[in-house]
Amino acid sequence: MRNFAAMIEKAILSAAIVAASAGMAARGGELDRRMAREGMVAVGAVCDGVEESLMYSRADNFTGVVLYEGLDSAWLHPDAAVALRKAAEALRKERPDLHLLVKDASRPMSVQRRMYQVVQGTPQAPYVSNPRNGGGLHNYGLAVDITLADSLGRELPMGTPVDHLGPEANIDRETQLVSRGVITAAERANRLLLRRIMQAGGFKPLRTEWWHFNLCTRTEAKQRYRLLNF
């Protein structure tokens, strides 16, 4: 009986999420509507207290150009959105004074191709996955670029900005980064908090980028999920 009640609750919840996502798509741009049609859900409709600041909707990202035209909201596959909601709940328990801030989430293949074209022949090229290799987890709606912010919306210092290209953004040698004075102990502690929270939701960190989290492996994504091929 309890299972049945949980099932009903889940069904009502997902209907509410789909309806709220459809509302956000209707108010948004062409890409928002396409995301909703592809079965993605709006982060704002699922995750209470998670803020968004989409870096590729502005030119002040590492490519220097606006990559998202017609995308107002962050979208994720429902499985990733549920995981993000769990992460937000974990943060609320541990640090109610902070919130998660999404910088990028689902990324259509057309944007991945554009990003690749923009960096081709530049030192940034090795950091962008080649769309010919089938796309990365962002292209399935299963990855999120995210950081922490305080109650005034100020991003917590993490040692580098989100999207910084270089070894200072790696997570496997942070103790050395601190001892060499590249990042501070407080910045490392902020990164550790972000990782703990995201792992509590079910995400896995990426060695080279402290802000990037995957829900599963690329192999699992290829087997079980659909590429955002538009």
Instruction: Print the binding letters for residues 174-213 with Zn ion: x by CB under 5 A, - otherwise.
Output: --------------------------------------x-
Q: Does position 145 bind Zn ion by CB under 5 A?
A: yes
Please identify, among the stretches 18-26, 140-148, 159-167, 177-185, the one whose residues bind Zn ion according to the rule CB under 5 A: 140-148
Query: For residues 17 and 102, which CB has a smaller minimum distance to Zn ion in the complex?
Result: 102
Q: How far is the CB of 55 from Zn ion (least distance, A)?
A: 10
Structure tokens at 197: 């929270």
Nearest one of 6, 99, 3 to 44, comparing CA atoms: 99
Query: For residues 17 and 67, which CB has a smaller minimum distance to Zn ion in the complex?
Result: 67
Query: For residues 34 and 107, which CB has a smaller minimum distance to Zn ion in the complex?
Result: 107
Give φ, ψ of 211 to 5 degrees.
-95, -10
Cβ contact 155:93 at 8 Å: no
CA separation for the pair 221, 189 (Å, rounded)? 31
With CB under 5 A as the rule, give the number of residues binding Zn ion.
2
Cβ contact 162:147 at 8 Å: yes
Query: For residues 17 and 138, which CB has a smaller minimum distance to Zn ion in the complex?
Result: 138
Q: How far is the CB of 104 from Zn ion (least distance, A)?
A: 6
Query: For residues 17 and 211, which CB has a smaller minimum distance to Zn ion in the complex?
Result: 211
Q: How far is the CB of 223 from Zn ion (least distance, A)?
A: 21
Tell me the DSSP string of 37-72.
HTT-EEHHHH-TT-EE--GGGSS-STTSS---SS--
Helices (H) and strands (E) in the chain, counts: 8, 7
Q: How far is the CB of 169 from Zn ion (least distance, A)?
A: 11
User: 118 by DSSP, 3-state: which?
Assistant: helix
Q: How far is the CB of 61 from Zn ion (least distance, A)?
A: 12
Please identify, among the stretches 85-93, 94-102, 139-147, 169-177, the one whose residues bind Zn ion according to the rule CB under 5 A: 139-147
Kindly report the CA angle at 213 between 50 and 210, in degrees rounded to 5? Answer: 95
Q: How far is the CB of 198 from Zn ion (least distance, A)?
A: 12
What is the contact surface with Zn ion in residues (CB under 5 A)? Answer: 145, 212
